[in-house]
Amino acid sequence: MPNRRPREPIHLHRRDATDLAYDPGRVPLLDVVLGYDCNLSCAYCTIGEAMRRRALSTERVARAIDQAAARGVRDLAFTGGEPTIRDDLPALVRYARRRGFEHVKVASNGLRYAHAAYLDHLVACGVDRFHVSMHAVSDEDYEATVRRDGAAALRHAAIDHLVARGLDPVADLILEERTYREIRRWIEGLVTRGVRRFALWLVSLTDANALRAETLPRLVDLAPHLVDAFEAARRGGYEVTSLHVPRCFLPGHEDHVRHPGFEGVTVVTPDEVFDLSASRLGGGVKPAACAGCPWLERCPGLRADYVARHGDALPARRLDTAEEPAR
Ligand code: SF4
């Protein structure tokens, strides 16, 4: 999902905190950005036209899998760009499974899953975790965002196929000015369709999306809507996880927060290999007000693009009175 969800460096997908797929104990993870090309052209995508021409070769991906397998890594994610437009994706999944990977995730806009035979083929090859980017609440907004007529119907079919097969997909939802006030309604609409897990990504202002600063909401405005969604999830028995929002904005709901950069994620892209903890979107800005915070060592702080837009003010609540982290 080209900026289907804010990319970490330019991608990174990601997950969480309950007994579901977001178990921090499953790390480390190899995250392979196969390439930056996509079958959509989302308005908020960070991937520009020049980037779309860059991709990893099949051989380079196989080598990364070999190297990670030798280090004992057992979780793999294929992301992009849109990984399902790669004809070699099924073969790469099979290869990873043969090399000992126990879990293979594909983070996708999901459109190709509208074709059930393709979805079944990926499952047969060994994909066991599906993340699908949703982009917008209504069908009208969705097609306006992804800029492809007919995509909304494919999105619906994809969700139906994933749910009908018991594949328990994770819906990746982008939080930006046009969506965050509707986050609870957005989630509850998907729950009625059988989706039970949600990851909330804060839109990023990097690369091709750098000039759309107005799309990034203030965290203090966003937080009450997240809390509302968390509380609805607890009552409803489904999972909602937030990324990129520091825990100090969500007191009492820290268990819904996840920072993938602290989970040992190695990212391989067409341009570089790096540890996610070094990602520019992993955070990095810890203002003086962080002193005394019980999460200080496990929080990446505020994202640099956020600070550039809204500053580094933190909530007034005193963190040094908060409960010590359990882990
Ligand atoms: S370390 Fe700083 S940004 Fe992170 S939760 Fe604590 S006060 Fe907030």
Q: How confident is the model at residue 126, as a pLDDT?
A: 98
Residue 118 domain-assigned? Answer: yes
pLDDT for 233-270, tens place per residue?
999 999 999 988 999 999 999 999 988 777 788 999 99
Residue 112 DSSP class = G
Find, among 257, 188, 189, the residue nearest to 219 by Cα.
257
Where on the phi/psi map is residue 235: left (φ > 0), alpha (ψ -120 to 50), or beta? alpha
> What are the backbone dihedrals phi and psi of residue 50, each rounded to the nearest 5 degrees, phi first?
-65, -40
Strands annotated E in the chain: 29-33, 75-79, 103-108, 129-133, 170-175, 197-202, 239-243, 257-258, 265-268, 273-275, 284-285, 302-303
Residue 174 domain-assigned? Answer: yes
Q: How far is the CA of 256 from the centre of ligand 1 (A)?
A: 15
Nearest CA to ligand 1 atom 1: 296
Q: How far is the CA of 52 from the centre of ligand 1 (A)?
A: 35
Query: Tens digit of pLDDT per residue, the chain (327 long)?
Result: 434 343 433 333 333 222 223 344 446 899 999 999 888 877 777 777 788 889 999 999 999 999 999 999 999 999 989 999 999 999 999 999 999 999 999 999 999 999 999 999 999 999 999 999 988 888 998 888 888 888 999 999 999 999 999 999 999 999 999 999 999 999 999 999 999 999 999 998 887 778 889 999 999 999 999 999 999 999 999 999 998 899 999 999 999 998 877 778 899 999 989 887 766 555 678 999 999 999 988 888 998 899 999 999 999 765 545 555 544
Residue 122 domain-assigned? Answer: yes
Q: How far is the CA of 286 from the centre of ligand 1 (A)?
A: 7
| 56 contacts 270 by C-beta, under 8 angstroms | yes
Q: How far is the CA of 319 from the centre of ligand 1 (A)?
A: 8
> What are the backbone dihedrals phi and psi of residue 324, each rounded to the nearest 5 degrees, phi first?
-65, 145
Find, among 249, 245, 170, 255, the residue nearest to 203 by Cα.
245
Pocket of ligand 1 (CB under 6 A): 246-248, 286, 290, 293, 295-296, 299, 301-302, 314, 319
Q: How far is the CA of 98 from the centre of ligand 1 (A)?
A: 41
Q: Please choose from 257, 319, 324 the residue to mutate so as to test ligand 1's pocket, defined by most ligand atoms within 8 A of CB.
A: 319
**Cα–Cα distance measured from residue 92 to residue 104, given in angstroms and rounded to the nearest whole number:** 10
The closest-lying atom of ligand 1 relative to the alpha carbon of residue 293 is 6
pTM: predicted TM-score of the whole model, two decimal places:
0.85
Give the 3-state secondary structure of residue 94. Answer: helix
The closest-lying atom of ligand 1 relative to the alpha carbon of residue 246 is 5
Distance of CA 144 to the CA centre of its chain: 21
Return the structure tokens found at 39: 């079958």
The closest-lying atom of ligand 1 relative to the alpha carbon of residue 286 is 2
Residue 20 domain-assigned? Answer: no
> What are the backbone dihedrals phi and psi of residue 175, each rounded to the nearest 5 degrees, phi first?
-95, 115
Nearest CA to ligand 1 atom 3: 301
Q: Please choose from 250, 299, 310, 321 the residue to mutate so as to test ligand 1's pocket, defined by most ligand atoms within 8 A of CB.
A: 299
Residue 298 domain-assigned? Answer: no
Q: How far is the CA of 299 from the centre of ligand 1 (A)?
A: 6
Q: How far is the CA of 295 from the centre of ligand 1 (A)?
A: 6
Domain that holds residue 130: 29-283
The closest-lying atom of ligand 1 relative to the alpha carbon of residue 296 is 1
Q: How confident is the model at residue 325, as a pLDDT?
A: 53
Distance of CA 304 to the CA centre of its chain: 18
Q: How far is the CA of 181 from the centre of ligand 1 (A)?
A: 24
Residue 17 domain-assigned? Answer: no
Mean pLDDT for the chain overall: 86
CATH number of residue 95's parent domain: 3.20.20.70
Residue 229 domain-assigned? Answer: yes
Number of domains in the chain: 1
Residue 34 domain-assigned? Answer: yes
Max Cα distance, the chain (Å): 54
